[in-house]
Amino acid sequence: MTLPARVDSADPRLLARPIGETPLAFVDVETTGFSPRQGDRVCEIAIVRRVGARVETQFTSLINPECSIGPRAASVNGITAHMVNQAPCFRDVAAEVSRLLDGAAFVGHNVGFDHGFVCAELARVGRALTTMATIDTLALARVHLDVPGHSLGVLAQVLGLASGQHRALGDVGATCGVFDYLVMQLGGWSTPLQAFVGHHTAPSPWGFRRRRRH
């Protein structure tokens, strides 16, 4: 039996917490296609868990999606069937993924895409996502950064960050850099979590829209 994904709690006490004291899980997934509802799966995941600016731990792995990687997705991420053939399936890493996300704010660039795929993969193995909120660095950048473009690649170039080139851990690193810059724009690490939530680019958490991160 599958469990529904838990939605953001919107607990006022949590939302009042300074962002510098908030557990943050920066997440990026590479996938076989662009919609989990159409059967597309995760083929790589990276998570960096921090409290404010302090890194606690990180996890990254190729994932055997147990299905073919679509040509459009492969042209974006460069991941081949040969690369994932001996990789663990998502069910093999689900406990670790859940541990890293538990109780944290889920941060991503076009967060609806990554959040939707992680929700779908966890539901497949009977787990619910237990994050406190979602934070979308793409939506925040569109509001607060006056730059030529807001894709992750453009922001990385403008801000002098290493670009991830559509691989999960590199993209998470770039997302962390964009987020840290946004924190300074929004008042620093004492700014409450509330200032970072509620901005989203996708209409649903299930990844219907193709992500525009680069």
Q: Is the Cβ–Cβ distance between 199 and 112 less than 8 Å?
A: no
Kindly state the average pLDDT of the residues 39-45.
Answer: 97
Kindly state the average pLDDT of the residues 5-9.
Answer: 42
Strand partners of residue 44: 30, 62
Kindly state the average pLDDT of the residues 197-206.
Answer: 62
Q: Which residue has the higher pLDDT, 12 or 190?
A: 190
Question: Which tokens belong to 86?
Answer: 């001996």
Burial class (CB in 10 A: 0-12, 13-18, 19+), 83: middle
The CATH number of the structural domain formed by 12-196 is 3.30.420.10
Alpha-helical runs (H) found in the chain? 12-15, 71-77, 81-84, 90-101, 111-124, 137-144, 152-159, 168-185
Kindly state the average pLDDT of the residues 83-100.
Answer: 98
pTM given for the model: 0.90
Question: Tell me, what's the pLDDT at 214?
Answer: 44
**Pairing, β 42-51 against β 23-31:** antiparallel
Strand, helix or coil at 84? helix
Question: Tell me, what's the pLDDT at 10?
Answer: 55
What distances in angstroms separate CA 84 from CA 39, 68, 87, one per listed residue?
Answer: 17, 10, 5
Question: Tell me, what's the pLDDT at 164?
Answer: 64
- Give the Cβ contact number of residue 1 at 10 Å: 4
Residue entry with tokens 């409290």? 51
Strand partners of residue 121: none
Whether 1 shows a pLDDT value over 50: the answer reads: no
Instruction: Give the closest residue to 31 by CA, choosing from 140, 132, 139, 114.
Output: 114
Burial class (CB in 10 A: 0-12, 13-18, 19+), 13: exposed
What are the boundaries of each domain within the chain? 12-196
Question: Tell me, what's the pLDDT at 199?
Answer: 79
The rounded mean pLDDT for the chain is: 89
Q: Is the Cβ–Cβ distance between 86 and 66 less than 8 Å?
A: no
CA distance 64 to 59: 16
